[in-house]
Structure 1
Amino acid sequence: MSATVKHLSAFQRDILYVVSDLETSYGLGIKDALEEYYGEEVNTGRVYQNLSTLVEKGYLEKSAIDKRTNSYTLTETALQAIEHRHNWQQTRADSQLVG
């Protein structure tokens, strides 16, 4: 079975999509992108807590940019999960157009 994001929260899925879109994904950059998407302030602690969870679950890899800043990249598991989610959503959207 391919990887899925069904056990992640919507916020965690949004983080994965943001990371996939940013050239350099670091905590505050991810937070800024989420705030732009949501149109409201996002709690910094919430972002970092969910980044840690996504690293622990194998969806993100964390590496140091410098002593205070980490970057985050999608793992193969995350890429497969995003593709699975996209296909699942597309199938549902297509069935609505046909039905």
Structure 2
Amino acid sequence: MQDLSGFQRDLLYVIASLDRPHGLAIKRELERYYGKRINEGRLYPNLDVLVEEDLVRKGQKDRRTNYYELTRTGVDDLLARHEWEATKLENVEEFEGKEAKTQ
């Protein structure tokens, strides 16, 4: 997980939030978040990396459409990342409390 790019981690979060999304559904969700167009030439190679790392499973919905879902490893790594991020935000929460008191 530590070797993933921010974009790849965002892909994991999007896949986790949707029920077996196809590539274009993932693309649309990321475009909403980023506020700009995501190139398919960037999307699919990064999805392939996540599949190769056993973080995501790729299946076939029909002859033309694949779906993506997190593997057990992907879920575990994403949850561990979430816990780690939460510990790093503790100071931010304290800062916000101090800010509110000074206003």
Same fold? TM cut 0.5 = yes
Task: Tell me the secondary structure at the aligned position of residue 4 of structure 2.
Answer: coil
- The AA in structure 1 aligned to 2:33 is Y
Long gaps (5+) in structure 1 = none
Q: In the alignment, is residue 39 of structure 1 matched against residue 14 of structure 2?
A: no
State the structure with bigger RCO (CA 8 A, min sep 6), 1 or 2: 1
Aligned pair partner of 2:20 in 24, 38, 54? 24
When the two structures are superposed, what TM-score results if normalisation uses the length of structure 2? 0.86
| Correspondence list, 1:53-92, <5 A | 53-92=49-88
Question: What's the RMSD between the two structures over aligned residues?
Answer: 1.3
When the two structures are superposed, what TM-score results if normalisation uses the length of structure 1? 0.90
Long gaps (5+) in structure 2 = 96-103
More helix by share: 2
Say how many residue pairs are matched: 95
- Distance in 1 separating the partners of 2:25 and 2:90: 34
- Distance in 2 separating the partners of 1:16 and 1:97: 25
